Amino acid sequence: MSVPLVEIVRSGFVEGCHHGSVVALDADGTVAWSLGEVSTPILPRSANKPLQALGMLGLGLDLPPELLALACASHSGEPEHVATAAGVLAKLGLDAGALECGTQWPSREPVLRGMVARGEMATPLHNNCSGKHSGFVCVACLMARQAGAEPIEFVRGYVAAEHAVMREVSAALSATTGVDVDHAPRGTDGCSIPTFALPLRSLALAFARCGTGQGLSDGHARAARRLRQAAAVAPFMVGGTDRFDTRVMQAYGERLFCKIGAEGVYCAALPELGLGIALKVDDGAARAAEAAMAAVAQALLRIEDELLRGYSHLQLRNWRGINVGSLRPAQALSQALAP
């Protein structure tokens, strides 16, 4: 059974609650603490992008830090994200037409409004997954060259589970999580690639391994280190203006290597503690996933500042800007995190 993780409080009255589960464990799989159902498979969605990026690096993808950070991103479609993804494709002689992630308007509202005001249209480059997909396209071109195939032909259909690129990316998921994803339930993700059902504890294990290198092949350990450093050097690329992942990695660098996923999933590595964290909010609310991750990070890293507290106790304002309440960790979570 999942447990209450985050409450919604309005004028002192508990108006609602988000249920979910969370686990923190080390690279040996030893659970530091957990709440709820952590052995039941869930769909990790974009929270596993760093693990997929690990697979791409293992295949020989070699990009500067900001592009590696973008490959791990669920970005807000801001001009820097779009231009960077476009640049990756341009070097291959390709454009947005090569991307199979679908078109999405920027989630950053001022950016979206600017585009609308200028009469511009969204493209697949604005899709929050365009960095990862640009990486997939790079890898496909690499593999095509190695196989002596025509790159453009080889790239096409890269989102399919059976495509050579996706098979290698999936193999990295299996290697890092310890779950054979070929035998896991599979869903189609928002960006059309497969997403494999994995227990939270397996996801947390993969992040503990990425944070420490323990339990990974030498190649994956090196790749994990590069990705952590890339996200710390270019945190804007992982999310964007005012985004949780970006703000906390700007503040704490490699201390908190974190990634949000759709439908309430969050994963993180805390290298200094040797821990990986994975959580799922049952109902899929991002506000609750961020609040829970902020509460966990504050407690485990012993950080007391306004940044993380601003998420764990997110202030709620009404249409006149009046403070009408906040989120806060539910009793089950705050007790579990108490020193």
Q: Which residues bind a second copy (CB under 8 A)?
A: 8, 10-13, 15-19, 41-43, 100-104, 113, 116-117, 119, 127, 185-192, 195, 197, 263-264, 280-285, 288, 318-322, 324-325
Min dist. Cβ of residue 274 to a second copy (A)? 30
Which residues, at least 6 apart from 302, have a Cβ–Cβ distance to it below 8 Å?
none
Q: Which is nearer to a second copy, 287 or 309 (CB)?
A: 287
Shortest spacing between CB 148 and a second copy, in angstroms = 30
- Closer to a second copy by CB, 302 or 320: give it: 320
CB atoms within 10 A of CB 39: 11
Is the CB of 78 or the CB of 282 nearer to a second copy?
282
Q: Which residue has the tokens 């890339």?
A: 230
Least Å distance between CB 193 and a second copy? Answer: 10
Token pair recorded at residue 162: 């059976």
Smallest separation, CB 288 to a second copy (Å):
7
Q: What is the DSSP string of 87-139?
A: HHHHHTT--GGG--S-----SSHHHHHHHHHTT----GGGSTTHHHHHHHHHH
Is the Cβ–Cβ distance between 173 and 210 less than 8 Å?
no
Q: Nearer to a second copy by C-beta: 26 or 189? A: 189
* Sign of the torsion angle spanned by Cα atoms 92, 97, 99, 100: negative
User: Which residue shows structure tokens 């985050």?
Assistant: 6
* Shortest spacing between CB 243 and a second copy, in angstroms: 19
Q: Please list, in sequence order, all residues whose beta carbon lies within 8 angstroms of the beta carbon of residue 293, skipping any fewer than 6 positions away.
A: 244, 258, 260, 266, 268, 277, 279, 311
Nearer to a second copy, 201 or 220 (CB): 201
DSSP 172-204: HHHHHHS--GGGS-EEE-TTSSEEE-EEHHHHH
The CA dihedral of 300, 20, 198, 70, to the nearest 10 degrees, is -60
Nearer to a second copy, 322 or 338 (CB): 322
- Closest distance of CB 190 from a second copy, Å: 5
Asked whether the beta carbons of 182 and 149 are under 8 A apart, the reply is: no
Closest approach of Cβ 105 to a second copy, in Å?
9
Nearer Cβ to a second copy (10/91)? 10
Nearest approach, Cβ of residue 34 and a second copy (Å): 19
Q: Nearest to residue 20, comparing CAs of 34, 31, 10?
A: 34
Task: Identify which of residues 135 and 235 has a Cβ nearer to a second copy in the complex.
Answer: 135
- Rounded distance, CA 38 to CA 332, Å? 15
